[in-house]
Amino acid sequence: MEKYKIVVCDHIHEEGLNILRRDDKIDMIFAADMDKTALLDVIKDADVAITRSSTDVDDKFINAAKGRMKAIVRAGVGVDNVDIPGCSKEGIIVMNVPTANTIAAVELTMTHMLSCMRMFPYSHDHLKNQRIWKREKWYGYELKGKKLGVIGFGNIGSRVGIRSKAFEMDVIAYDPYIHPSKATDVGVKYTTNFEDILACDIITIHTPKNKETVGMIGADEIAKMKDGVVLINCARGGLYDEEALYDGLKSGKIRFAGIDVFNKEPATDHKLLDLDNVTVSPHLGANTFESQYNIAVEAAQQAIEAAKGIAYPHALNLPIDETKIPPFVKPFLEMVQKIGFLSAQINKAPIVSIKVSGRGEIAEYLASLATFATVGALAEMSGETINYVNADFVAKERGIKIETEELPESPVYKNLVTVKLTTDKEAFEISATMFNEDVQRIVDINGFGVDVEPTGNLILFKNTDVPGVIGQVGTLLGAHNVNIADFRLGRNKSGEALAVIIVDSAVSDKTLKELAALNACISVSYARI
């Protein structure tokens, strides 16, 4: 069996490499220490590449990779060194890892905020290095009661807001791309008037770097701020106009600034460093041991999913205009692709139709959901390269009917999607939802209520609902050295039960046959996501 080839172009945490090594369908090539010219010869045969900031995904890289490469995983948030339009032109999907370093960036933001208010680095230097004890020189300010303006209320900005509320601050969020309830539900005021942010005591920015946000805080905006404002930037360099920032700090209009990122890095000779009302750090937003571990693990998992055609989590060049969809939609797109892939493995037979239904706000995006579900379902077909562009065409060519249906709102779930895959033998239906915006959960399989994360090695064991079955299944799997990671059970009114068993390793055909031979077994199937 030919393996999927994943090239690791830059250094990542060892656990990420171990995940790639442990998958028997993956051929991992570690090329982080390889000359970048020599790397071009390696990636031409790769299905997926994992990169960081040391590898530029430019014309040379894309030309070497095109033809076979399905995806590039940028192990981190920033994609400044990735030519996304160039990748899109060649059908290469670009993914990043936007949440793995969330807590690291949040906590560094709070560090800079507290350091600015209490001038901590300067008092520390005064005593530690200069050996001067002068308490009266270092009167600071409290966070309590101060008004904090948060520009960008996504994964990082929202958590900064929540932590700032714990300091008893008055927090205001500005983010035109979120639903106001994301802020108001956590006790944060929401505004569409940018002037409200400029009136705050402290302002922190947490937006991506793009045409809309570069230099969004300039001389005009600073002039409108209150005297003595404190500015924080632990997001991306260039969001504040650095000349205007310098002038504001030097004049005293800006009392203090906490800066982790610069327009050009390394910034060892930046004139901001000459000022005595700035706390600085050398782009440390993601630099915790925990975040580097998380980044590597998520990047490896995403690379495996992409190589196998299961899903493309956090894809940045999706075949839809992301500016026209709210953030809550993307996790659903990823999830239905996984469900399509799962359904095709369980229901192994020629596909007749794929139907996607939706309840709640998500029903507005059924067309896109159907495309993603189709990509997942058709990924199981050998000899086909399936992507978001050709999925509908391949389905039509094979006589597969693609349907969508908007259903009444669910009494239980805010949003619910259902994928029904019909083959020439039977129909298989899975319903799923999202908890806390990004926690994927399968909640129903063919009428059996469950609570399952769509990931890992899954055994679906349907049986007559009689005593002793769970023990028999556990004993049999143990005898084959298969460790159970999770066990979820659903029951119906017909005296049947469905166990969804998540295990730590691949399951052999022999093991599945022995499970099927148990007296109570109605059916057993196996899938890997």
Is 283 known to be catalytic?
A: yes
User: For the domain 102-280, what is the CATH code?
Assistant: 3.40.50.720
Which of 479, 477, 445 lies closest to 462 in space, CA to CA?
445
Choose, from 74, 112, 255, 283, the residue flagged as catalytic: 283
Please tell me the pTM assigned to this model: 0.67
Residue 273 CB coordination number (10 Å): 12
Superfamily name with CATH number, domain 1-99+288-309: NAD(P)-binding Rossmann-like Domain (3.40.50.720)
Distance CA 327, CA 208 (A): 14
Our answer to whether residue 13 is catalytic in this structure is: no
Chunked in runs of 10, what are the mean pLDDT values of the chain (529 residues)?
Answer: 92 97 96 95 96 94 93 89 86 89 96 97 95 94 98 93 98 88 93 97 92 92 98 96 98 98 95 96 94 96 92 79 74 93 88 95 93 87 62 79 94 95 91 89 95 93 94 95 94 93 93 95 92
Which of 265, 405, 409, 437 is catalytic? The answer is: 265
Residue 382: predicted pLDDT: 47
Query: For residues 232 and 254, what is the distance between their CA atoms, to the nearest angstrom?
Result: 11
What residue ranges do the domains of the chain occupy?
1-99+288-309, 102-280, 318-453, 456-529
Query: Distance between CA 505 and CA 171 in Å, rounded?
Result: 47
CATH of domain 456-529: 3.30.70.260
Distance CA 126, CA 141 (A): 18
Q: Are strands 439-445 and 427-435 parallel, antiparallel or unpaired?
A: antiparallel
Instruction: State the Cα–Cα distance between residues 231 and 209, nearest whole angstrom.
Output: 17
Q: Is 236 a catalytic residue?
A: yes
439 DSSP assignment:
E
Indicate if the alpha-carbon torsion angle 316, 322, 327, 328 is positive or negative.
negative
32 touches 312 (CB < 8 A): no
Q: How far apart are CA 204 and CA 452, in angstroms?
A: 37
Residue range 318-453 in CATH 3.40.50.1260: no
> Is residue 399 left, alpha or beta, with left meaning phi > 0 and alpha meaning psi from -120 to 50?
left
Euclidean distance between CA atoms 265 and 242, whole angstroms: 13
Rounded-to-integer distance, Cα 499 and Cα 507, Å: 16
Decide whether 1-99+288-309 matches 102-280 in CATH topology.
yes
Out of 13, 74, 236, 270, which one is annotated catalytic? 236
Cα–Cα distance for residue pair 382/379, rounded to 1 Å: 8
Helix count and strand count (H, E) for the chain: 17, 22
3 state SS of 303 = helix
Paired with 356 in beta bridges are: 404, 419
Per-residue pLDDT at 8:
98
Can you give the pLDDT at residue 383? 46
